[in-house]
Structure 1
Amino acid sequence: MIYKKLKSYRLRWLWLSFVVMSLDLLSKEWVISNLFLHQSVSVMPFLNFYYTRNFGMAFSLFSDQNNWQRWLLSGVSSIVIIILFITMYYNPNKKTINYIIYALLIGGALGNLYDRIYRGFVIDFIDLHIDCSHFATFNISDSAICLGTVLIFIQEIINPKK
């Protein structure tokens, strides 16, 4: 009984996945409704909203392919989501940060997976820059995945496994 309660506690963190995915999808709908493709709108001196479509993966890798990457990346994302979910459920570690990391990664992966399956591409729109030097354009799902990854590294630095 206690074991089952502990496992259900682990899945309670999926609310964060839902929040990440919802914010991602809502922000992308806002971009589609308010910007033209490749339109850039200055938001702050270091931030533009720039509507673009990414047919590949990170940094537009494989975006120039013949659409096979859509299904390969969707399949890989689905497998990763399932693995993260199972790992979250069976993780013996009771640290809250682990569940936050899993939830961020799952939510981010689900947001981009939805785009890839429904639209055939991922909508990116956050453009950080310093003067004329622009970083890669990304979205809220990408941010959640990066934040989850950074938290993994921080956790490993603070509490290295023996």
Structure 2
Amino acid sequence: MRLPGHSGLAPGLALAAVVLILDQITKFWAERALTQFASVEVAPFFNFTLLYNPGAAFSLLADAGGWGRWLLSGIAIAAGVLITVWLARLPRDAWLTIASLGLIVGGAIGNLVDRLRIGKVVDFLDFHWAGHHWPAFNVADMAITVGAVLLIVAAFTEGEATRRS
């Protein structure tokens, strides 16, 4: 374990906090400004559409009932703890890994807040083309996805010592 000032913990958690705040502000706005299932066209390929997802990405476990909510919440909590430990072990110069983990944990906590607050996740970003819609998502989902891609890039670009952390 590294000293707090020399690890990736502070910058990683700071980024996670920014993601969490942006995610919750945008969801707060969506729930107040939009009506469920009613699309507001922003561009020919993009709508704001308020939806509630009781499952995970692509509505995985959406029909699982109450246990799915608690399973997904438990997974998010466990992932958050593991990522926090990982951040504490990273050297501060492993900035790409730190950023990727900060994005992932911030997004996971953002969706966890929704699950604990209302039992489902608020989604409102709706991209579509030629009548085909991508599953609606939110800022937390974007952060998790970008974080996962950056983590893969970091695995190939940052040193062996970073990967062993």
TM-score by length of 1: 0.90
The answer to whether the aligner puts 1:50 opposite 2:46 as a matched pair is no
Find the aligned partners of 2:6 and 2:152 in 1 and give their Cα distance.
Answer: 25
Q: Aligned residue for 2:58?
A: 59
Following superposition, the deviation at residue 92 of structure 1 comes to 4.4
Partner of 1:101: 100
1:72 matched to 2:71: yes
Change (3 A) 1:98 1:159: closer
Query: What is the CA–CA distance in structure 2 between the aligned matches of 1:152 and 1:104, rounded to whole Å?
Result: 10
CA shift in 2, pair 1:159/1:15, >3 Å: closer
In 2, the alpha carbon distance for the partners of 1:57 and 1:4 equals 33
Q: Which runs of 5+ in 2 are unaligned?
A: none
Distance in 1 between the 2:128 and 2:36 partners?
Answer: 19
How far is 1:130 from its partner?
A: 1.3
Between the two proteins, the alignment pairs up a number of residues equal to 160
Please state how far the C-alpha of 1:13 moved relative to its aligned partner.
3.1
Gap regions ≥5 residues in structure 1: none
Pair 97,78 (structure 1): closer, same or farther in 2 beyond 3 Å: same
Deviations 1:124-157 (A, max 9, x none): 1111111211111100000000000111222334
Deviations 1:37-83 (A, max 9, x none): 11111111211111100001110011112211011110111000000
| CA distance in structure 1 between the partners assigned to 2:114 and 2:148 by the alignment | 21
Percentage of pairs with the same residue = 34
Extract structure 1 runs of 4+ deviating beyond 6 A: none
CA deviations 1:13-35 (Å, max 9, x no partner) are 32211111111111111111011
Structure 2 equivalent of residue 6 of structure 1 = 6
With the length of structure 2 as denominator, give the TM-score of the two structures: 0.89
What is the rounded CA distance, in whole Å, between the counterparts of 1:40 and 1:61 in structure 2?
23
Distance 1:4 1:147, change over 3 A: closer
**1:89 matched to 2:88:** yes
